[in-house]
Structure 1
Amino acid sequence: MSALLQIRGLHAFYGQGQVLRGVDLEVGRGEIVALLGRNGAGRSSTLKAAMGMLRGSGSVLLDGAELFGLKTFQIARQGLAYVPEERAVFPTLTVQQNLLLGQHGGGVGGVNIDDMLCLMPQLAARRHVAAGALSGGEQQMLSLCRSLMGAPKAIMVDEPTEGLAPAMVKVVAQHLQRLREQGLGVLLVEQKLDIALEIADRVLVMGRGRIVFAGTSSELRRNQAVRRQWLEV
């Protein structure tokens, strides 16, 4: 599988504090890679640094094009999408208006609102409802759809199931699997280990700003030492 998203030697800082210490990872086309670790390990910081939201150094290649050093909106237009943990929908705008804000002409192929509502029919009946009136799960789907409106090549999703009911967790997982089937590369930060291991093609474990394990879901299940040292509370 050819690498679509390649991150090499990524270092990042919050003020004077270093949070990433040489992160290396790859995501292929049509692949879900789960990025696991305890709170503070550097998972969310990796996504933010790749999107140009943190000061640092390194290389971020998307389909062979260097993104590091570009502004966040330029990175998005090159085809790398980012769905933050806080969802960041515009609460006073309708579902349709939020989706329109995601169009910017980048990425590959043409995507419109009807495409998104077919992908996530739960939003279709809420098309003209203010985003602030949606449930947490609906807001998560809206945030994901808004990122897909730019027709990205790869998407980075931060804690998409946080705070969701079990039934909605399954719905979000199914939608992420559909994105893989469509050929997108998905880099997923997820706290729920069972969900991550179920849908990911490969898993990476972070600790203290570095990748400390890389392998398949079954390999991580068998590796009690890694789970005990870097994942379990």
Structure 2
Amino acid sequence: MTALLEVRGLHAFYGQSHVLHGVDLDVGAGEIVSLLGRNGAGRSSTLKALMGMLRSRGSVRFSGVELNGLKTFQIARHGLAYVPEERAVFPTLTVQQNLLLGQQRERVAIEEMWQLMPQLAARKHVAAGLLSGGEQQMLSLCRSLMGKPRLIMVDEPTEGLAPHMVQSVARHLQLLRAQGLGVLLVEQKLGIALEISDRVLVMGHGQIVFAGTPDELRANPEIRQKWLEV
């Protein structure tokens, strides 16, 4: 599979703090790659660095175009989308208004979002701040899709959700994969990540310490114990 996103030697910094130490990863179209690790391992920092939100060095190539050094809005226009852990919906705007804010020049019709997530269509005129946590997560995901990305990075989408909403998020990510999107997923719930991912990467101390298939990670208790289990 030809990689859509190719990251080589990525270093990133919060002020003087050096938080990523030479991260290499690839994500292809129509593929879910999960980035696993304990809190503080560098997973969220990786997504932010790829999105131009942290000072960084190294190579971030997307469809052959170097993105490192571009501003966040320029990166988004190249087709890379980011769904942050905090969801970041506009609480006083309606569901429909939140979605329209995600439109870009090459845009998706809002009707496609209603078809993808009918539960949002039923609440299109409700203020986003009145939605449940799961509905807000769906809204944040759909808003990112309104810009017609080719790869979407999703940070902890199941955090704090009820089990049935966790399964709903997983199904929607699989649907996006089936539509040909690349998905880079940061996920704390190991079971869900192993269930839906094509490949998994484990991070520790700002580096990739394991890369393989879900089955290979299941068969490697040493890696799980050292880098994932509490």
> What's 2:227 paired with?
230
Give yes or no for the alignment of 1:182 onto 2:161.
no
Q: Matched residues in 2 for 1:56 and 1:148: separation?
A: 26
Runs (4+) off by over 2 Å: none
Q: Matched residues in 1 for 2:20 and 2:29: separation?
A: 25
> What's 2:213 paired with?
216
Q: Matched residues in 2 for 1:6 and 1:138: separation?
A: 32
- Deviation string 1:128-154 (CA, Å, 9 cap, x unpaired) is 000000000000000000000000010
Q: Matched residues in 1 for 2:61 and 2:97: separation?
A: 31
CA drift of 1:159 comes to 0.2
Amino acid in structure 2 at the alignment position of 1:51: M
> What's 1:119 paired with?
116
- Deviation string 1:10-47 (CA, Å, 9 cap, x unpaired) is 00011111100000000011000000000000000000
> What's 1:133 paired with?
130
Amino acid in structure 2 at the alignment position of 1:28: G
CA drift of 1:213 comes to 0.1
Give yes or no for the alignment of 1:49 onto 2:49.
yes
> What's 1:38 paired with?
38
Give yes or no for the alignment of 1:157 onto 2:154.
yes
- Deviation string 1:186-227 (CA, Å, 9 cap, x unpaired) is 000000000000000000000000000000000000100000
* Count of residues in correspondence between the two structures: 230
Amino acid in structure 2 at the alignment position of 1:231: L
- The alignment yields a C-alpha RMSD, in angstroms, of 0.6
Amino acid in structure 1 at the alignment position of 2:12: A
Q: Matched residues in 2 for 1:56 and 1:219: separation?
A: 31
> What's 1:92 paired with?
92
Q: Matched residues in 1 for 2:89 and 2:140: separation?
A: 6
> What's 1:191 paired with?
188
CA drift of 1:79 comes to 0.3
* Aligned partner of residue 126 in structure 1, secondary structure: coil
TM-score w.r.t. length of structure 2: 0.99
